[in-house]
Amino acid sequence: MRTDELEKLIRISVCADGLTATLTVQAGVDPEELSADLVGAILEGRGVRIPAEINPRVDELKRRIAEAPEEEIDIIIAEGIAPVHGKDGRFDLDPELCDDEQAKKREESEADADHYGRSAFLVVEEGQRIGKVVPHSDAEDGVDVRGKTIKATPARPCKVKFDESLDVDEDGTVTALRNGRLEVAAERVRIQPVLVVPESVDFSSGNVDFPEDVLVQKGVRDCFTVHAGGSLEIVELVEAATVSANGSILLRRGMAGRGKGEISAGGDLEAKYLDAVNVTVQNDLRVQRELTNCTTYVGRCMHAQSCSVVGGKLDIRFGGQARMLGGEAETETLIRLGVDPKLDEQARELEEILPVALNRLNQATVELDQLKKMAAKLTPTQAESMTSLQFEIMTGQTRLSAIHAAIQQISEAYKRLSKATLSVDKNIMPGVTIVIGNKSAVVREPIRGPVEVSLDESGTLVMKQPSSDSVIPLSTKAKLVPASGVVDVAELERLLDNPLFNEVRAAA
Amino acid sequence: MKILLVDDSKTMRNIQKSVLSQLGYSELEEACDGQDALSKVKAFDPDLLLVDWNMPNMDGLSFVKAYRQDDKTTPIIMVTTEAEKSRVIEAIKAGVNNYVVKPFTPDLLSQRIQETLEKCAAA
């Protein structure tokens, strides 16, 4: 076949991106008539660069024509080099912090899932790894089959900005520099030291446990928990939930705990009202309107000049003020002043260990006296027992000295606490029980305020009317009853009268 | 200061440990008889030894004799029920520096320890 006839039976086509050239040979061509030179010439004629590997490709073409001489054969005869586009730099959040990852984990443990515990906030701690900045990659241009450059798209560096709450080290690792809520936006990552919950704490937000300050702009629903490592402010109603803070708590409205709600403040607590809540406040309590049916412990003072305390139990360490105590229906209301649970615990512990220590010391002394009587004829075992008893007595005496000092200290602390007073502006209603120290009285007739209740120097419950400066025993309006569940300081002091203490002091 | 307590009675060792702790010594090692003590002295290298006389396996006197073959200077206080004068002399000849007869009071033990240490420091 003539070359020009042969060329008519061979077609070259280049794909749109210019990266491949395909050679098509129609049926009827004798493969022996094809050569690398001929194909090279045809390629050049069509503007396609002759590839380095033209010989093996032509051999392949010839083999395929020989296998199927009746068919049209095509083969990729030349290939260009695709451009490598650059990849933009990016910030990869640690998988642990990704929503998808958290959702996956939740699905895995769906059977025992805590739906209240599903937090909508990414809370991170100082020093925690947050993610990594992946740098952009370099772009490389390509070449098409005609030898023309194909431009690669250059990459851009990571656009994400990190504020001073985060550290990005040389290898791109991003670490939290403070506790807080991690905010990840398209081009900005930061840690907010204050967690603002814009809605109520409910199933949409999950429980809240944040290491710094928390502001809940609405309320807290039943059974949810909110804990702040700093202070906590809740704008709307708190239902039968559990709220706590290491710092102070401010409830702008109040809490209706229905007997199940709990508040624990490491600092002060301020609320408009508290109803059927279990309250523990380490510092001061401020309630504007009502404290009803709550079990409350106040570690310092209560400031509630405009508040009525109705029902429940209120323990105050140092005293305070209220507008009214008790209700119209003789609601049982227990008010105890000068209460310190830690001191009570120490006193009860001492009450328990003192008799044991005294008994053991007595017993050791008796045993030692018996051995002393036979000092001249002691067996080696008895001699060792005597040494052991002498040592036991010495350590027992040291222990008793420490117990003696502790009882004295506790007794002094109780005396200071018994000076606690409570001022009531309006009324103290029947049904109110007032306990100071080991004195207790149930109010039988309304007591009109302003009045200040305290324990006088003789240990009598009295009420003082500031207007007249008159001091009247509380028993004129109340029935004195034995105080239950309180540490009897006099009883504690009587323990100090044990003659063994005198011996210990003499020995010392 | 490192002190080795050699006594088969754990109660006695505890009493000695308590007295020594009150005196401010906290680097203490215990051995339950002479053999146990011999196995520990090299590694522990004590500065003072309190040794009971009557113990199983190897008694205190045999231990003192064996120990004194290598170490002539580290002070040893014998703490024992053996109160006879001949026994005291025997112990001192074997190389004991001081002697405490059981029963003893914590104060007496403390006094003997201090006295022995002062004497050895002055020598």
Which residue is it, tokens 């003997």?
A: B112
Does residue A272 lie within any of the structural domains?
yes
- The secondary structure element, H or E, covering residue B67 is helix B60-70
Q: Is B15 on the interface with A (CB under 8 A)?
A: yes
Check whether residue A211 and residue A128 sit in a common domain: no
DSSP-assigned letters across all residues of A466-508: TTTTEEEEGGGTEEEEE--SS--HHHHHHGGG-HHHHHHHHH-
Spatial separation of the C-alpha atoms in residues A296 and A274, rounded to whole Å: 10
By C-alpha distance, the chain B residue nearest A387 is B103
Domain boundary (A306, A341, A376) is at A341
Could you report the per-residue pLDDT of A168-208, keeping only the tens digit for each? 999 999 999 988 888 888 789 999 888 889 899 999 889 99
Distance from CA of A388 to the nearest CA of B (A): 7
- Print the domain residue range for A185: 90-140+152-192
**What average pLDDT does the segment A284-293 reach?**
96
Spatial separation of the C-alpha atoms in residues A379 and B82, rounded to whole Å: 10
CATH no. for residue B104?
A: 3.40.50.2300
A377 vs B108, residue with greater confidence: B108
Does residue A424 lie within any of the structural domains?
no
Of the candidates A447, A443, A480, A479, the residue with the CA atom closest to the CA atom of residue A464:
A447
Check whether residue A213 and residue A334 sit in a common domain: yes
B27-31 and B76-80 strand pairing: unpaired
- CB-CB neighbors (< 8 A) of A387 in chain B: 12, 15, 102-105
- The secondary structure element, H or E, covering residue A154 is none
Query: What single letter denotes the amino acid at residue A377?
Result: K
Check whether residue A221 and residue A101 sit in a common domain: no
Could you report the per-residue pLDDT of B74-94, keeping only the tens digit for each? 999 999 988 888 999 999 999
Instruction: Flag whether pLDDT at A501 surpasses 80.
Output: no
Average pLDDT score, chain A: 89
| Burial grade of A177 (CB within 10 A; 0-12, 13-18, 19 or more) | middle
CATH no. for residue A169?
A: 2.40.50.100
Spatial separation of the C-alpha atoms in residues A128 and A112, rounded to whole Å: 28
- CB-CB neighbors (< 8 A) of B12 in chain A: 384, 387-388
Q: How many domains does chain B divide into?
A: 1
Give CA angle at A356 (A351, A362), nearest 5°: 125
User: Cα A6 to chain center, whole Å?
Assistant: 83
Check whether residue A295 and residue A413 sit in a common domain: no
Residues 6 or more apart whose CB falls under 8 angstroms from that of A99 comprise none
Beta-carbon-side half-sphere exposure of residue A155 (alpha carbons within 13 Å): 17
**What average pLDDT does the segment A248-270 reach?**
96
Could you tell me the end-to-end alpha-carbon distance of chain A, in angstroms, rounded to an integer?
131
Give CA angle at A189 (A188, A192), nearest 5°: 120
User: How many C-beta neighbours within 10 Å does residue B47 have?
Assistant: 15
Of the candidates A253, A331, A320, the residue with the CA atom closest to the CA atom of residue A281:
A320
Please give the model's pTM, rounded to 2 decimal places: 0.69
By C-alpha distance, the chain B residue nearest A386 is B103
Does residue A472 lie within any of the structural domains?
no
State the pLDDT confidence band at A91, using cuts at 50, 70 and 90.
very high
With b for 16 or more beta-carbon neighbours within 10 A and e for fewer, the A16-50 pattern comes to eebbbbebebeeebebeebeeeebbebbeeeebbb
Query: Does A383 sit within 8 Å of B81, measured CB to CB?
Result: yes
State the pLDDT confidence band at A438, using cuts at 50, 70 and 90.
confident
Does residue A48 lie within any of the structural domains?
yes
The residues facing A25 across adjacent strands are A10, A73
Query: Does B105 sit within 8 Å of A394, measured CB to CB?
Result: yes
Instruction: Flag whether pLDDT at B111 surpasses 80.
Output: yes
Spatial separation of the C-alpha atoms in residues B34 and B54, rounded to whole Å: 10
Asked if residues A77 and A22 have their Cβ atoms less than 8 Å apart, the reply is yes
Does residue A482 lie within any of the structural domains?
no
* Torsion, CA A314, CA A318, CA A324, CA A329, rounded to 10: 30
**What average pLDDT does the segment A309-329 reach?**
94
Query: Does B103 sit within 8 Å of A371, measured CB to CB?
Result: yes
Beta-carbon-side half-sphere exposure of residue A399 (alpha carbons within 13 Å): 16
Check whether residue A362 and residue A499 sit in a common domain: yes
Query: Does B106 sit within 8 Å of A394, measured CB to CB?
Result: yes
Instruction: Flag whether pLDDT at A503 surpasses 70.
Output: no
Query: Does B104 sit within 8 Å of A380, measured CB to CB?
Result: no
Supply the Cα-derived Rg of chain A in whole angstroms: 44
The pLDDT score that the predictor gives to residue A115 is: 62
Spatial separation of the C-alpha atoms in residues A41 and A46, rounded to whole Å: 9
The pLDDT score that the predictor gives to residue A129 is: 94
- Print the domain residue range for B109: 2-122
The pLDDT score that the predictor gives to residue A484 is: 77
Query: Does B81 sit within 8 Å of A378, measured CB to CB?
Result: yes
Supply the Cα-derived Rg of chain B in whole angstroms: 13
Spatial separation of the C-alpha atoms in residues A502 and A73, rounded to whole Å: 119
Does residue A501 lie within any of the structural domains?
yes
Give CA angle at A222 (A202, A303), nearest 5°: 110
Asked if residues A370 and A480 have their Cβ atoms less than 8 Å apart, the reply is no
Most confident of A417-421, A431-435, A487-491: A431-435
- CB-CB neighbors (< 8 A) of B11 in chain A: 384, 388
Spatial separation of the C-alpha atoms in residues A280 and A298, rounded to whole Å: 6
Instruction: Flag whether pLDDT at A397 surpasses 90.
Output: no
The pLDDT score that the predictor gives to residue A505 is: 62
Instruction: Flag whether pLDDT at A311 surpasses 80.
Output: yes
Query: What single letter denotes the amino acid at residue B58?
Result: M
Check whether residue A297 and residue A200 sit in a common domain: yes
Check whether residue A126 and residue A113 sit in a common domain: yes
Spatial separation of the C-alpha atoms in residues A339 and A347, rounded to whole Å: 13
Distance from CA of A391 to the nearest CA of B (A): 6
User: How many C-beta neighbours within 10 Å does residue A417 have?
Assistant: 21
Q: Two tokens at A71? A: 């068919």
Beta-carbon-side half-sphere exposure of residue A17 (alpha carbons within 13 Å): 12
Check whether residue A183 and residue A115 sit in a common domain: yes
Query: Does B103 sit within 8 Å of A387, measured CB to CB?
Result: yes
Does residue A477 lie within any of the structural domains?
no
Q: How many domains does chain A divide into?
A: 4
State the pLDDT confidence band at B29, using cuts at 50, 70 and 90.
very high
Does residue A347 lie within any of the structural domains?
yes
Residues 6 or more apart whose CB falls under 8 angstroms from that of A68 comprise none
Check whether residue A266 and residue A304 sit in a common domain: yes
pLDDT above 90 covers what percent of chain A?
57
- CB-CB neighbors (< 8 A) of B9 in chain A: 384
A172: left (phi over 0), alpha (psi -120 to 50) or beta: left
Domain boundary (A341, A357, A374) is at A341
Check whether residue A160 and residue A297 sit in a common domain: no
Instruction: Flag whether pLDDT at A103 surpasses 60.
Output: no
User: How many C-beta neighbours within 10 Å does residue A239 have?
Assistant: 19
Distance from CA of A408 to the nearest CA of B (A): 26
Which residue is it, tokens 């629903």?
A: A221
Q: Is A386 on the interface with B (CB under 8 A)?
A: yes
3-state SS, one letter per residue, for A195-212: EEECCCECCCCCCEEECC
Domain boundary (A341, A365, A399) is at A341
Instruction: Flag whether pLDDT at B3 surpasses 90.
Output: yes
Check whether residue A317 and residue A348 sit in a common domain: no
- CB-CB neighbors (< 8 A) of A383 in chain B: 81, 101-103
Could you report the per-residue pLDDT of A48-79, keeping only the tens digit for each? 999 989 999 999 999 999 998 888 999 999 99
Which residue is it, tokens 């328990």?
A: A352
Instruction: Flag whether pLDDT at A235 surpasses 70.
Output: yes
The pLDDT score that the predictor gives to residue A117 is: 63
**What average pLDDT does the segment A292-305 reach?**
95
A242-245 and A447-448 strand pairing: unpaired
Residues 6 or more apart whose CB falls under 8 angstroms from that of A176 comprise A124, A125, A126, A127, A128, A129, A130, A165, A166, A182, A191
The pLDDT score that the predictor gives to residue A193 is: 87
Question: Which residues of B, range 79-98, sit inside 8 Å of A by Cβ?
Answer: 81
Q: Two tokens at A184? A: 């990840």
Q: Is this complex scored with an ipTM above 0.95?
A: no
User: How many C-beta neighbours within 10 Å does residue A104 have?
Assistant: 11
With b for 16 or more beta-carbon neighbours within 10 A and e for fewer, the A118-151 pattern comes to eeebbbbeeebebbbbeeeeeeeebbbbeeeeee
Asked if residues A279 and A269 have their Cβ atoms less than 8 Å apart, the reply is yes
